[in-house]
Amino acid sequence: MNKQLNGRVAVITGASSGIGLHTARLLAAQGAKVAVVARRKESLDRLVAEIEQAGGVAMALALDVTDQASVDAAAAKVEQTWGPASLVFNNAGVMLPNAIEANLRSDTTQQIDLNVHGLMHVIHAFVPQLVKAAEQGVTADLINTSSIAGQYVFPYFSVYSATKAFVSHLSRHLRAELGAKKVRVSMIEPGIVSTELQSHVTNQGVKDWLAGAAQQYEFLQPQDVAEVVSFLAALPAHVNLMQVTVMPTGQA
């Protein structure tokens, strides 16, 4: 195994499936101690068992990132167990595209709560640890999952796209603020990735569009994005790749 992340303490949100799960596997294989965060305890326990069986080190933190107190408690547990986190992959999110006239206020609230408030809860809880890790001479990374929807305009994606625009622009500001403290901030903006995120879509027009796209080109796989996270984290400490847009080759 390539142990290029030996000594790093990684926290991964949205780790029960998709991009988060595959990133946890990869970072653990590269030597990082991995704390996996999501609501589904059973899925996290299976992932931890798998990582440990492969010789890695992991812990499961079953919680909802929209609850600041729970995130704060998890951050304290990570630091007490392994020391300050030096790699935070802020990846939890939800995508519920629909027409604004459908007036699905619960979908709006859910997307803003998870994609914005949940993201900020993780930042508030773990940035002090990232700063501490950097002060101790350890490479420190905050990596946020955004989306190409944060840059482009798609019908029915108004709320989701707005939340991801928040993630992208916030990341730019945080890089300017935290770079002086030797904490790198990066954002990954994927195109279409084959994950369960799409299974939550209820709008028939969007479902038809996704089905048609799948017939035209090969979607990204979660492990493709995990490789990008690994690459960012393994760069020399003085190098900050701030923004990575990763697309299926065939997606226009």
Give the phi and the psi of residue 130 in degrees, each rounded to 5: -60, -40
Residue 218 DSSP label: P
d(C-alpha 226, C-alpha 18), whole Å: 9
Is 152 annotated as catalytic? no
d(C-alpha 89, C-alpha 197), whole Å: 17
d(C-alpha 90, C-alpha 23), whole Å: 11
Instruction: Tell me which of 152, 156, 160, 217 is the catalytic residue.
Output: 160
> Alpha helices, DSSP H only, in 54-157?
68-82, 105-112, 119-135
Residue the block writes with tokens 């879509």: 201
The pair of three-digit structure tokens given for residue 105, joined into one six-digit string: 């206020």
33-38/243-246 β-pairing: unpaired
The pair of three-digit structure tokens given for residue 36, joined into one six-digit string: 């996996």
d(C-alpha 44, C-alpha 15), whole Å: 7
Residue 193 DSSP label: B
Residue 197 DSSP label: G
Interior CA angle at 130 toward 242 and 235, to 5°? Answer: 40
Which residues belong to the active site? 160
